[in-house]
Amino acid sequence: MTLPRGSVILLSGMMPLAARAADAVPQTSSFGAFMQALVGLLVVLGMLYGFFWLLRRFGPGQGGAQGVVKVVGGVMLGPRERVVVVEVQDTWILVGVAAGHVSTLHTLAKPEGVDTTPQPVAPPFADKLADLLRRPRA
């Protein structure tokens, strides 16, 4: 198959244009591209951090009843059942919690001299990890 004479001349005239267009594209270094991607990632992570901070600060669930209701303690009775003692002002409420159902079991006045401030408890995994790190290596 042969091309008409005019199309060959047209194609040969376009070759220098394509070469000049390739030369016009700025060549960036790989370090510059890496830094640009890194800065973009840091900007996105910073925006996510700010969004979650605002959500935690002003989000739903931060109403005026903060600190009024405290969970004093609880016991698991089964895989989906537990009994929880909830403190509301000076009243303790024993609540039964099951899958899809919560019911009041008993209500009583807060006992005198009972400290209900939450005590920090180290999780068992943290204890095991600390023991492993303290062992001498053989």
What is the model's pLDDT at position 65?
A: 47
**Amino acid, res. 1:** M
Please tell me the pTM assigned to this model: 0.40
Q: How far apart are CA 74 and CA 33, in angstroms?
A: 55
The larger pLDDT score, comparing residue 130 to residue 107, is at 107
| Average pLDDT value for the chain | 79
CB 86 within 8 A of CB 68: no
Query: At 122, is the secondary structure helix, strand, or coil?
Result: coil
Query: Which tokens belong to 20?
Result: 């000049």
pLDDT in tens, 21-79: 556 656 668 998 999 999 999 999 999 999 998 888 887 655 444 578 888 888 999 88
Closest CA to 87 of 105, 106, 103, 69: 69
Q: How many CB atoms lie within 10 A of CB 95?
A: 18
Query: Which tokens belong to 106?
Result: 């008993």
Q: How far apart are CA 135 and CA 132, in angstroms?
A: 5
